Amino acid sequence: MTALLTDLYQLTMAAGYWCAGKAAETATFELFVRRLPHNRNFLLAAGLQQAVDYLLHVRFTSEEIDYLRGLPQFRNVDGGFFEALRGFRFTGDLFAVPEGTPLFPGEPILTVRAPLMEAQIPETYLLSTVGFQTLIATKAARMVEAAGGRAVVEFGTRRAHSPEAGVYAARAAYLGGCIGTSNTLAGMRYGIPVFGTAAHSWIQSFPTELEAFERLHQLLGSGTTYLIDTYDTLEGARRAASLGKPFWGVRLDSGNLVELSRAVRVILDEAGCPEAKIMATGDLNEYKILELAAAGAPIDAFGVGTELATSSDAPSHGAVYKMVEHSSGLGRRYTAKFSQDKSTLPGAKQIFRYPGYDVLARTHECFMPGCEALLRPVIIRGELVGRQPDATGARSFARESIARLPKKLRSLFECDPPYRIDLSDELLQLAEEVRGIER
Amino acid sequence: MTALLTDLYQLTMAAGYWCAGKAAETATFELFVRRLPHNRNFLLAAGLQQAVDYLLHVRFTSEEIDYLRGLPQFRNVDGGFFEALRGFRFTGDLFAVPEGTPLFPGEPILTVRAPLMEAQIPETYLLSTVGFQTLIATKAARMVEAAGGRAVVEFGTRRAHSPEAGVYAARAAYLGGCIGTSNTLAGMRYGIPVFGTAAHSWIQSFPTELEAFERLHQLLGSGTTYLIDTYDTLEGARRAASLGKPFWGVRLDSGNLVELSRAVRVILDEAGCPEAKIMATGDLNEYKILELAAAGAPIDAFGVGTELATSSDAPSHGAVYKMVEHSSGLGRRYTAKFSQDKSTLPGAKQIFRYPGYDVLARTHECFMPGCEALLRPVIIRGELVGRQPDATGARSFARESIARLPKKLRSLFECDPPYRIDLSDELLQLAEEVRGIER
C-alpha cells in the first residue's frame, strides 16, 4: 500500500521532523468524531480492518521516492530522509475499539502511538478509511432499524464515490446490519452474501416480458426475483405468477410502493404463490422505509443504493486525528486545543463502558467491575496482536452491541438528552493543567 | 482491472444472455444524468480516462471465476459461460464527450455499443467512476467561479469516501479548475500540482510556535506557508513576519475569516511583507467563498476539503446507463422507458452544440456549419483511437468551455430559463414511434 496516498503536508512534516532530529520522538494521536451527524444518536465504528492492513503494509516505492525528491517542497531535504523513506515501516502501536462498536462524539475509535513521523504520515488514510466506513455502517444501522426485522440489501456501488468506495460501502453496510450486497468484489473479498437477478435492460432485450421472465427462471430457478415494473407492475405480477414455477419473489422499483405492494400481494396470493416475496427498491432511505413499514405495506425486503452508499443526508462527519501526547528529550507533554469550536482533551484515553453510560478516562485508570474497556491493543511495535473478527463476526458483534444500547438511542431522530458520557476526575484535572500551561 | 467490481446482476444477466444465445447481440447504452443537482446549471464531464482504462483492461481472474462458479445464482449455468469469462474482453465501441465538457440533463456523457454481455457488465463501474468525477468536477467549477480569480486548492482526501475516492476527487477537482491538490498520489499519477506545508500537530510538537515556524522555514524557504491559528492568530502573524525571511504566506484555519484576514493583512504589510499571501481554510464551500470575496476579505487563496471531495450539498446525482438500441436476429429495436419520472429517449444520440444552445439528435443526422458534434469515438472494436488529453489538457479545455457558456449559467444559483436543448425532428419522431409500439 502506497504511503503517497496521503496529504503532502504529512510528508513535508515528516521531512521537517527528520531534519529537526525529531522523527523518533514518540507521539500519540487519537481518531474521533467531533459531533454526531444530524439525527444520529450513535456511530457504529467500522474500517478497522483496512486501517490495520494499511499500517502493516504501508511502504514507499523507489518511483514514489523519486517523485518526492523532484518536488520543490523537498529541495532543502538531505538524502538521508529519502533513505529513511526507503525503509519506512510502521513500528508503533495501534489501539482500537472492535468494529461494530457503537461510539459517541469525542470517543477515540483508534489511538496511534508511534515515532512522530510514523504517526503523522498515516493520518489522511486512517481518517478516510475509518471515517467513511463508520459513516456508512452508521447509516446502514438506521435503515435496518427502520426496516424492523425485514431484510435490507445494499445496492449502491453505481452511485458510490468511485467503484472502490462501493466496495468499502458494501462492507460497512453489511457490518451495519444489511444482509448482503450487490457488489460482487465485496462478496468475494469479505465473504459477504451477494444478491442480484436482473435489470430493466434484461426485460427490454427480449421481445416480451413473459419470455424475459421464462429465461430468467431457467437461470435462477426457485431463487428468481422478477423485476415487474418495466411495463405494467400489476400485469408483471400476474405474468410472474402465471409461470407456475416456484420463485423467490418480485421486485418493485417505481410507483406508489404502499398501494402496489398491496395489490401485488393479492395477485400473488390469489395465484397460489403465498410464499413469493416482495422486494422494494428505488431511492429508499430510512425515513421512507419507516413510512412503508408503518403503513403496513407487505414488503419483505428493501434494496437501498444511493442514500446508503453516500450517506446522502450526512455525506461526511468531522472525523479528526489529534495529537494528545508527545514525548521528546524535554519529557512528555500533553497536547490539546482549546479553541471554541474545536476543543480537544489532552492525554491518551480509554473508554470505560457501563450499562447505559460511558466514562472517558486516562489509559492507566482502573475502573470497577461491571464496565468494559473498549480500546484494545491491535498492533504492538508494528506487529499484529490477536485476531480481528471478519466482516460476519463484526456484523454479529454490532447487532448485539446495538441491542444493548438504551432503546431510545435507536430512534431515527435525535434523542434528548443524548447518551451520557462522564469524564474521569483525572482526565478533567489533566485538561485543567494543560489549559493553564497553554494560557 | 477486475470485472467483479460490478453489481452481481450484471453477471447473472451476462450468464442469462449467454445461456439464451444472446450474448453476441449488439446493444447500445447511453450514460447520462437525469436531473441537475440543486443550484447547478450545468455538469462538467469527468472520469473518461478511468472509464477508458477500465474498458481496455477489464478481465476476470481464475480465482474470480471460481468464486462465481460457487455462487447459487450460477448453479444452472453450463461451463461454457465460465470459459467465455476467461477470455472476456471489451471488443465494442465507446463514444464520449471530452473531459471538461459542460453538459446538461439527458445528454450522453458516453455511449457504449458492444455485444450485449460486454455492454452490460461495465454498467456499474462506468456509472460510478464517471458519475463521481463529474459530480466533483462540477462542484469544483462552482468553487472556482465563486473565488473570482483567486486560487482554489483541493484538500479533501481525509473526508473523501475512502482514500481511493480521494485520489479521484483530487483529479476531478483539478479538472474543475482547482490549481492543485494535497493528495500526493494524485499528484504523481496525474501530474497535478501538489500543495501542503504543515498542520497544527507540527506547531504542537515544538516548545514554541516561533521555533516551529523557524524549523518550517529551514525546510520550505520562500515557499513556506505558516499556519498561524494554533494559539493566537494575530500573534502568529506577527511571529511569521518577525522572522525576516521571504515566505509564501500564512494560513488561517478558524475564526472570523473576514476580520482576521484584514487584521493579518495589516500586520504583514506593516511588517514589510506586502508580498506575503493569505490562504483561508476550514469547512469552506462556494457560498462561503462568495461571501468572503464579496466582503472584500484580502484572501489570496482558498483551501477546500470536505465540501468539495464529497460534494456535500449534493453527494450524488442520478447518473444512469440506459439501453437505447438493441439488435438481434429479429432486427434492430429502439428501446426507451416512458414511465412518468424516469422517461428516456430511444436510439443512439449525438449532441450538436451551437453557440448558446444544443440540439440532441440521432447519430446519423448531419447538422449545419457552426455547430460541434460533442460525442466522439474513443474506443472502436476494443482499440483506443486517438489520444485523450491528460488532466492538465482537460482542465484547460474545461476552463475555455465554461468561459464560452452563457454567463448566467455560471451563477451559483439556479438560472431560469435553463440552458436550451432542442430535440431534432427525427429524434422526436423515433420517440413517438417507440411509444406507439410500447403502448
Q: Is B360 on the interface with A (CB under 8 A)?
A: no
**Candidates A9, A306, A335; nearest CB to B199:** A9
Residue in A71, A125, A230 nearest the CB of B194: A71
What's the pLDDT at B5? 98
Chain A contact for B281 (CB, 8 A cutoff): no
- Over residues A51-107, the pLDDT tens digits come to 999 999 999 999 999 999 999 999 999 999 999 999 999 999 999 999 999 999 999
Interface test with B, best of A28, A133, A158 (most B CBs within 10 A): A158
User: Does residue A46 carry a pLDDT above 60?
Assistant: yes
A195 touches chain B (CB under 8 A): yes
Give A27's strand partners.
A114, A326
ipTM above 0.95, yes or no: yes
Q: Where are the domains of chain B?
A: 8-135+314-438, 197-276
> In this complex, is the C-beta atom of B194 within 8 Å of any C-beta atom belonging to chain A?
yes
Determine the residue among B117, B203, B205 to mutate to test chain A binding: the one whose Cβ has the most chain A Cβ atoms within 10 Å. B205
* Count of CA atoms in the C-beta half-sphere (13 A) of A62: 0
Cross-chain CB nearest to A4 (options B68, B75, B185): B185
Residues of A with Cβ-Cβ distance to B2 under 8 angstroms: 185
- What is the band of A439 on the pLDDT scale with cuts at 50, 70, 90? low
Q: How far is CA A9 from CA A120, A123, A142, in A?
A: 9, 11, 36
User: The domain A26-45+92-135+314-438 is classified under which CATH number: 3.40.50.720, 3.30.70.1450, 2.30.30.60, 3.20.140.10?
Assistant: 3.20.140.10
Q: What is the pLDDT of residue B439?
A: 56
Give mean pLDDT, residues A245-257.
96
d(CA B386, CA B98): 12
Establish if A51 touches chain B: CB-CB under 8 angstroms. no
pLDDT in tens, B206-241: 999 999 999 999 999 999 999 999 999 999 999 999
CATH classification number, B8-135+314-438, choose in 3.20.140.10, 1.10.357.140, 3.40.50.300, 3.30.360.10: 3.20.140.10
Q: How far apart are CA B373 and CA B396, in angstroms?
A: 19
> What is the pLDDT at residue B387?
84
CB contact residues (below 8 A), chain A span 89-148, against chain B = 116, 120, 123-125, 127-129, 131-132, 135
Pick from A11, A76, A120: CB nearest B184: A11
Beta bridge pairs of residue A43: A103
Ranges of residues in chain B with a pLDDT under 50 are: none
- Predicted pLDDT of residue B318: 87
Q: Which fold has domain B197-276?
A: TIM Barrel (3.20.20)
Cβ–Cβ < 8 Å for A279, A303:
yes
B interface test, pick of A2, A12, A62, A217 with most B CB neighbours within 10 Å:
A12
User: Which whole-number Å values give the CA distances from B428 to B346, B356, B424, B433, in the listed order?
Assistant: 9, 21, 6, 9
Q: With 70 as the cut, is the pLDDT of residue A166 above it?
A: yes
Tell me the pLDDT tens digit for each residue of A382-416.
999 978 899 999 999 999 999 999 999 999 999 99
Chain A residues close to B22, C-beta within 8 Å: 205
Give the residue among A48, A42, A18, A70 at the shortest CA–CA distance from A125.
Answer: A48
**How is domain A197-281 classified at the CATH fold level?**
TIM Barrel (3.20.20)
CB proximity B8 to A under 8 Å: yes
User: Using a CB-CB distance cutoff of 8 angstroms, which residues of chain A are in contact with residue B231?
Assistant: 438
Residue of A nearest to B155 (CA): A7
